[in-house]
């Protein structure tokens, strides 16, 4: 499975990517929403995009809106990963088309739980050892 990790913090991208790679994801990183859109145009499309909210150039909410406006990208699951924790912000993101919402700070297990809810734990990673 492929994931796109979008955050203006390289450190946070690495934290999220570390969890996803550990689960077997192939990860591409982007520093803002526009870079992420460019990566999706170039392809291949990700199965999952983890999106920060507050970023320069293009914020996460705009990115989510743009992705949802393109029918060809309907299969991409969008998860906000952000410090924006107010109920109103969560509602805005979900209304714009985000499937899940993870508030920073989070633990690796919290991220895995969200992926599990979305059915996005790769089969090999979910198998009992």
**Contacts to other proteins by CB under 8 A:** 8-12, 14-15, 18, 54, 56, 82-86, 104-107
| Least spacing, CB of residue 59 vs other proteins, in Å | 10
| In the block, residue with structure tokens 């109103």 | 88
Q: For other proteins, give the closer residue by CB, 40 or 50.
A: 50
Assess contact for 54 and 10: CB atoms under 8 A. no
| Least spacing, CB of residue 105 vs other proteins, in Å | 4
Q: For other proteins, give the closer residue by CB, 2 or 18.
A: 18
Residue 12 neighbours by CB under 8 Å, 6+ apart: 52, 81, 104
Give the whole-angstrom CA distance, residue 10 versus residue 89: 24
């Amino acid at each position: 499975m492929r994931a796109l990790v979008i955050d203006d913090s390289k450190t946070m991208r690495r934290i999220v990517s570390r969890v996803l790679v550990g689960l077997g994801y192939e990860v591409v990183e982007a520093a803002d929403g526009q870079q992420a859109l460019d990566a999706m145009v170039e392809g291949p499309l990700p199965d999952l995009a983890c999106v920060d909210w507050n970023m320069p150039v293009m914020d996460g909410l705009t990115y989510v809106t743009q992705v949802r406006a393109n029918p060809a990208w309907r299969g991409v699951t969008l998860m906000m990963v952000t410090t924006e924790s107010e109920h109103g912000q969560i509602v805005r993101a979900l209304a714009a088309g985000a499937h899940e919402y993870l508030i920073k700070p989070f633990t690796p297990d919290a991220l895995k739980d969200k992926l599990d809810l979305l059915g996005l734990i790769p089969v090999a990673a979910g198998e009992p050892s």
